[in-house]
Chain A
Amino acid sequence: MFVLKGVGASPGVAIGPAVILPGDSFAVTRQYVDPSEVKAELSKMKTAMDKTMRELDSCEKKVLATLGQEYAQLMSTHKLILQDPSLHDSVRKKIKDEHLSAQAAIFLTLQELAASFDKIEDPFFKERRNDVFDVGKRLAKNLEADKGEFLASIKKPSILIAHTLYPSDTINLQENQVLGFCTDIGGKTSHTAILAQSLKMPAVVGLSSAAKQVQKDDTVIVDGDNGLLIINPDRYTLANYKKIQRENKKAEALLKTINHLPVITQDGHPLKLFVNYDPRTDTKENKKLITDGLGLLRTEFLFMNTPTPPSEEDQHRMYLAVAKRFDMRPATIRLADLGGDKMPQFPLDEFDQEQNPFMGCRGVRLLLKNPELLHTQLRAILHTACEVPAQIRIMIPMVSSVEEVRHVRNAYNQALQELEQEGKKPVNKVALGAMIEVPAAAMALDGMIGLLDFISIGTNDLIQYLIAVDRVNQEVAHMYDPCHPAVIRTLNLIIQTAHKRGKKVSICGELASDAKMLPLLLGLEVDALSVTPRMFLRVKNNIRNLNFETCSDMAQAALLMGSSEEIRSLIEQNKNEDS
């Protein structure tokens, strides 16, 4: 038996045989292939090369149009590297003669090339190895595009072990016999984790070396509550976890009995509880939940994996289905938060590779630079509001200044006018709000609140930006700390500023379903929470067991504290008193 400690990304226990996902660019998980697979590996290689060539082609065209001939030449250099016979020959030879996997062949070839470049003394020439690596990485990335195929080949219920999983991979897991998964990379708030929660799939991330330590068909236990991966458990441990699995099932059944009860604290303080909704993972069970509405519809998925942006009609159809699903309850649709780790395939302005994409052109910034995207989406949403008596709300992502809000407000008004000229008018007024996730927007909220109908706090990004911690960087991920005094004070500032102007504040993001943080959020007088369907009843149960007055006192005390340590012990203390 062997236990690896990571971060619990999605609660629950899953037990089963391990399958190992062929790895990410630079973590080769499968060194050799069977001689009978050589042909398949070669054709995989060919497909990846063709795809890389097409990418470089379109990149070159774009560079040519924006930066000119001089820079476009750099891309043609990359194309030549890709076509270079010494690269081809070496990779083909390694696959054919040594039966290496395509991935391993590329990796080794790159290593050899790098070694040759390293021998060069002139630093100017040495630098060129970076060009070679750039192309190599692209190639390796395109080679792993076959994940879908791999997942489809899983025949029995299994636990997936991967170096890293992208949100787009995660979405395909459930239909592919995956009971739970583990990854080496990633944190609790990565989008992969969030998707796992909505799929109700136990998951542990940030394990560093699981992909290397687990063998295919090892029996493994994923303990999503404690962030553990147990490899080849002994009999006692296995029995123990099976018992936990049964108990979890019972607890879940118990939670269902509170579905029809109001969301209210013991001392009568009401709260709205919304659900974050993803139409791709909606289930019968989710539909049974009695919620106050849709707190966050992420629309990025409409823009991903498509060669062209979705048309107004396409979007409209989708939004209409969502509006109908939530009937007369509020349905909050967030404008596409593209950029960062969500890169569409179709070309966009201001969309070159960025050094620091999370601080780059994403969310509203990207939309304002691509006004046709913004316009189409606004029209599609407003059009929906003309056809059903729903309470549709539009949320702007990544706002950092009042000017941005004003621009979107103008675009909103323009779209509204156009529809009116076409004889269409929203049945109910469509509210326009902002996601507050940039510290600047929190600090200067008083300047923009007048233009907003509501606000929602995106805690994942807010904390990340506030503490300057990249939540997927393992070196600093532990510093991502919701108990940091700066976080509590900023939340307080946002809520108080909004309340002064009579605007409601909701919190969406991981923090909203964190049982330990819940009393603080309530005490800070947040009006609504939005959580995943998976967490919905648990959060509701937790709220119903809290006392608002105690929460208030606690929040006031926390606001006076200067360290996370103090705040954390305050929370723990409160928890102990409760039980």
Chain B
Amino acid sequence: MIKKDIKISNRLGLHARPAAMIAQKAGEFSCDVKLSKDDVEVNAKSIMGVMMLAAEYGSTVCITTDGEDERQAADAIAELFNNKFNEEF
């Protein structure tokens, strides 16, 4: 199991489009992918779950992956965050 804390650096936070990107990316892996913020944990493969986190700019979320390809999944999701979901340059 891998856990990774990551700070949200895109201005709009995890709104629909980033949530879509996360769910899409997470869906490519066979392992469980979870996102948590404060006490709430959601399935990252569920776009609605991710949206419901309501993670805003500056907050920190935790990525948890568990399964065969947990390493690749954690890296791929973290990369989306680090690239600010391609929205700010």
Residue numbers of A with Cβ under 8 A of B are 73-74, 76-77, 80-81, 84-87, 113, 116-117, 120-122, 124-125, 128, 131-132
Contacts and interface: CB of A to CB of B under 8 A. Distances in A.
26 contacts: A76-B20, A77-B17, A77-B47, A80-B20, A80-B24, A81-B48, A84-B47, A84-B48, A84-B49, A85-B45, A85-B46, A86-B43, A86-B46, A87-B46, A87-B48, A116-B52, A117-B51, A120-B54, A122-B56, A124-B15, A125-B51, A125-B54, A128-B15, A128-B16, A131-B16, A132-B48
B61 interface: no
A77 B16 contact: yes
B16 A74 contact: yes
A86 B20 contact: no
Interface centre among B17, B24, B47 (most CB of A within 10 A): B47
Interface centre among B48, B49, B54 (most CB of A within 10 A): B48
Interface string B47-83: 1110110101000000000000000000000000000
Interface of B: 12-13, 15-17, 19-20, 23-24, 43, 45-49, 51-52, 54, 56
Contacts of B13: 124-125
The 3 closest A-B pairs by CB, nearest first: A125-B54, A80-B47, A86-B46
B16 A86 contact: no
The DSSP consensus for interface residues of chain A is: helix
A243 to B, nearest CB: 59
Contacts of A132: 48
A120 B40 CA distance: 12
B44 to A, nearest CB: 11
Nearest to A126: B54
Interface centre among B12, B43, B54, B56 (most CB of A within 10 A): B54
A81 B47 contact: yes
B46 to A, nearest CB: 4
B48 A86 contact: yes
Contact of B51 (A76, A85, A128): A128
Contacts of A113: 48
A120 B14 CA distance: 13
Nearest to B16: A77
Contacts of A74: 16
Given A77-B19, A87-B46, 17 more contacts: A74-B16, A76-B20, A77-B16, A77-B47, A80-B20, A80-B23, A80-B47, A84-B48, A85-B46, A86-B48, A86-B49, A116-B52, A120-B54, A124-B13, A125-B13, A125-B15, A128-B51
A80 B49 CA distance: 11
B16 A84 contact: no
A120 B52 contact: yes
Contacts of A121: 54
Contacts of B48: 81, 84, 86-87, 113, 132
Interface centre among B45, B52, B56 (most CB of A within 10 A): B52
Contacts of A76: 20
A415 to B, nearest CB: 47
